[in-house]
Amino acid sequence: MQNRKVIVLEDDPDVLQLVDRVATGDGFEVHGALSLAECRRKMRAVDPTIFIVDVNLPDGSGLSFVPEIREHSRAGILILSARTAEVDQVLGLEMGADDYVAKPFRPRELVARMRALHRRLSARPGEVPAPQHDGAPDFTLSGYQLFLQARRVIDPEGRDIALTAAEFDVFAALMEFEGRIASRDEIIETVRRRNWSGNERAIDGIVSRLRRKLPVPESQPHFIRTVYGVGYLVAA
């Protein structure tokens, strides 16, 4: 994925200018939007690989806009917000964002997270229908198949599951711990090998999304189980 176009949805011109300067300096092509309406117009014309989204906007909520982006794009989504409460960060990730950066932010950290997200997106297959796999999946559990190199997850009926970059990386990390309890710290360290920069709160939000996207029959417990006070257990 050579596309390095970024839409920055931010209603503060000073913050928008700062993000534009540091991201452009790192080789990204930045397109600013001061409102949801402007962002909707630009996303049709620009086709970005990453969205950076503020939460409080003059014509709506950036959090509520995240699912709308997901309906039309597989781009990465990074929320940039002054809201630092844990509930806001978890909610943002549950809505479909890949990462969450709190204001005030360090410009170098923001660019590093943009780079990491772009690398993970670059490893993902394109939008064209993918060919059938010749090799065996790297992990299989409860009928779901995970292919690391292709970054694909196939459901028990053989259909592709659309996961965000963060969701795929966390699911792959959880599968590595199949059959034993993994703490959130262990999961984070495993995911960081794939250039991810999340935290414990991010893990909880992404696991919540994975359970919704990877359903099991109502009569069965989900194979991603919470071990309260410890972490998660993945087991059929």
Q: Are 211 and 224 in contact (CB under 8 A)?
A: yes
Give yes or no: residues 105 and 164 share one domain. Answer: no
| pLDDT (tens digit per residue) in 13-34 | 999 999 999 999 999 999 999 9
CA distance 38 to 9: 9
Question: What's the mean pLDDT in 40-54?
Answer: 92
| Residue 134 resides in a domain | no
| pLDDT (tens digit per residue) in 197-230 | 555 667 888 898 899 999 998 888 999 999 998 8
End-of-domain residue from the set 122, 156, 183: 122
Question: Is residue 85 predicted with pLDDT exceeding 80?
Answer: no
Task: Compute the mean pLDDT over every residue in the chain, rounded to the nearest whole number.
Answer: 85
Boundaries of domain holding 198: 139-234
- Whether pTM > 0.85 for this model: the answer is no
Question: Is residue 129 predicted with pLDDT exceeding 80?
Answer: no
Write the secondary structure of the chain as one string of H (helix), E (strand) and C (coil). Answer: CCCCEEEEECCCHHHHHHHHHHHHHCCCEEEEECCHHHHHHHHHHHCCCEEEECCEECCEEHHHHHHHHHHHCCCEEEEEECCCCHHHHHHHHHHCCCEEEECCCCHHHHHHHHHHHHHHHHCCCCCCCCCCCCCCCCEEECCEEEECCCCEEECCCCCECCCCHHHHHHHHHHHHCCCCEEEHHHHHHHHHCCCCCCCHHHHHHHHHHHHHHCCCCCCCCCCEEEECCCEEEECC
Give yes or no: residues 206 and 107 share one domain. Answer: no
What is residue 199's predicted lDDT score, i.e. its pLDDT?
59
| Residue 130 resides in a domain | no
CA distance 34 to 228: 42
Estimate to the nearest angstrom the gap between the alpha carbon of 120 and the chain centroid: 10
Return the higher-pLDDT residue of 103 and 122: 103
What is residue 128's predicted lDDT score, i.e. its pLDDT?
35
Give yes or no: residues 224 and 174 share one domain. Answer: yes
What is residue 127's predicted lDDT score, i.e. its pLDDT?
41
| Residue 131 resides in a domain | no
Task: Please report, as a single letter, which amino acid is at residue 102.
Answer: A
- The total of other beta-carbon atoms located within 10 Å of residue 114's CB is 24
What is residue 132's predicted lDDT score, i.e. its pLDDT?
46
Give yes or no: residues 105 and 172 share one domain. Answer: no
Q: What are phi and psi of 19, to 5 degrees?
A: -60, -40
Question: Is residue 94 predicted with pLDDT exceeding 50?
Answer: yes
Q: Is 157 exposed, middle or buried (0-12, 13-18, 19+ CB in 10 A)?
A: exposed
End-of-domain residue from the set 122, 150, 179: 122
pLDDT interval class at 234 (50, 70, 90): very high
Least confident residue range of 26-40, 72-86, 123-137, 207-221:
123-137
> Any bridge partners for residue 73, and if so which?
none
If one counts the domains in the chain, the total is 2
Joined together, the tokens standing for residue 186 give 């262990």
Return the higher-pLDDT residue of 41 and 195: 41
End-of-domain residue from the set 122, 155, 188: 122
